[in-house]
Every structure is written in structure tokens, then in C-alpha cells.
Structure 1
Amino acid sequence: MTAPEAGELAASWQRRFAFFDLYGLPNSSPTAKAAYRTLPVWDKVRLTSNVWALLFGFVYFYAKGMWRKGTTILGAGVGLGALLSVLHAPGFLSQVVTFGFAGAIMTTANYAYYLHVRGSRSWNPFEGFGPRA
């Protein structure tokens, strides 16, 4: 599956891509933070969250053509599950870790797809997040 061109995307993706083109991630610079703060609440949610990625995890990444990142997510999820099982973690802790992991996937999916369409073939689902060089 090849990545679509930016003009071939749905209007919601075009809005996200326009923000990322202008500012990068919402926390990447003071200008990006200021622009993000001016957005209506639901636009902020749509920009930084992806419910489909929350619900389907690595399968969503595969469906969008980001199989490398999806494989990394699958491996990390299996690893976390195995670690929690070996440590005999209580159910509550397992649920917290699972929801936290799903939340991380949800918040990285949109920018990961933006980078994918722009040509990134990284295995890192957190590519572009974190401190800048």
C-alpha cells in the first residue's frame, strides 16, 4: 500500500496536516503552542487524538500502511503484557498500564501518519516526539 498524497486525504486529515506543516507538533515551539491554544476544543482533540488508534492499536497502523510502527507497537504491547504477567502484577496495575499504552498510541497516531505520508519509514511510533536536537 502506498501512502496517499496530501491532496487525496479527507478534509479532517488535510486540516491536521496543515497544522503540522505550519507548526509541527503542538508542543514543539512557542509558536505552535500559541496556535494550538487558539483552536476550539474539539479541533484540539481531533489534532492530538485518534480514537481508531485507541480502539484498534497496531491494527490501525497496519491499515494506514504504517506496518513498521505497527509492528513496534505490537512487540511493545506483547513485551509489556509478558512483563506484567511475569511480575504477577495486580489487575489494577495491568489495567493502568494497558490504558496508558493505548493512550500513548492514540496521541501519536496522527503525527505518525503525517510523517508516513511525508515519506518517513521509521520503526519508531514516537518519531518527532521528545526533546529537539
Structure 2
Amino acid sequence: MADKLSEKWQERFDFFDRIGGEVATVEYRQEFRKLSFMQRIKIGYNIWAFFFGIIYFCILGLWKKGLVIFSTIVLLSIIVYIIESLGHFKLDVVYRVISIAGAAFSASTANYAYYLKETRGKQSWNPLEGFSKKK
């Protein structure tokens, strides 16, 4: 597996391995705080997932999680549209917030989701898999 990963992905995977592969722990938070700002961005955030969302998740083979995130964004947008139509007012800012929040969520979960897929073979529909202390 290490052969097919880029240096950036190897660095991310090494960090997750070093903390025991669990991000919902005190050890993870402590180790994450020790990193420099740029290392934190590299480990905890994925710029490609921010801009390309479900497409990037599909490229990584995480189509289930990508589909759930995309569907949630669409569902929230439909709800806002219904509220907007019934109230006869504009909620453009709410649409932007939903879009940016969805993109930020994708970016902050992509790296760990890919780690779980590649190292443990976990590919559930839950985009928050591993982020909870509950086993």
C-alpha cells in the first residue's frame, strides 16, 4: 500500500498510525496541537475535497460518503427553497452558508475517511465514521 501513496498521503497516514488510528481521542488532539500550522492543514484538511466534493470522494473510492454529504447539501437546499417560497423572501446567504459548510465538512473528513478505507477497509455510508468516541 505504501508504494502507491504519494508522499503527502504517506505523511498523513503516518500521523494517523502514530496516534493509534483514532481521531476521537485526547492523544489525537494533543498530537495535532503539536503540529505546525501548515502540517495541521496538510493532515486535517483536503483542499481538493473542498473544491470538488463528491467528485473527489468518488476518485478516492469513497463514493458512499460523498453521496451522503452531497445528498445532505441538496436536501438542506430544498428545505431552504421551500421556506423561501412560502415566505416570499430571499435566503441567498443561507444557500451560501450551506454550500461552504458542506465543502468545509468534505475537506475536513476526506483524509481520515481515505485512511480508514485504505488501512482498515472501512467504507460505510457514515461520513462521520471514526469521529465519535463511541465504538
TM-score bracket, shorter-length normalisation? 0.7 to 0.9
Gaps of 5+ in 1: none
Map residues 1-133 of structure 1 onto 2, 5 A cutoff. 5-23=1-19, 24-26=21-23, 28-88=24-84, 90-118=91-119, 119-133=121-135
Identity, % of aligned positions = 34
Q: Does the CA-based 8 Å contact 1:69-1:125 persist in structure 2?
A: yes
Q: Separation in 1 of the partners of 2:70 and 2:117?
A: 18
Q: CA deviation at 1:25?
A: 4.9
Q: Distance in 2 between matches of 1:102 and 1:32?
A: 23
SS at structure 2 position matched to 1:7:
coil
Max Rg structure: 2
Q: CA deviation at 1:41?
A: 1.0
Give the TM-score of the pair, scaled to structure 2. Answer: 0.86
Deviation of the 1:103 alpha carbon: 0.8
Aligned residues: 128
TM-score under structure 1 normalisation?
0.87
RMSD between aligned alpha carbons? Answer: 1.6
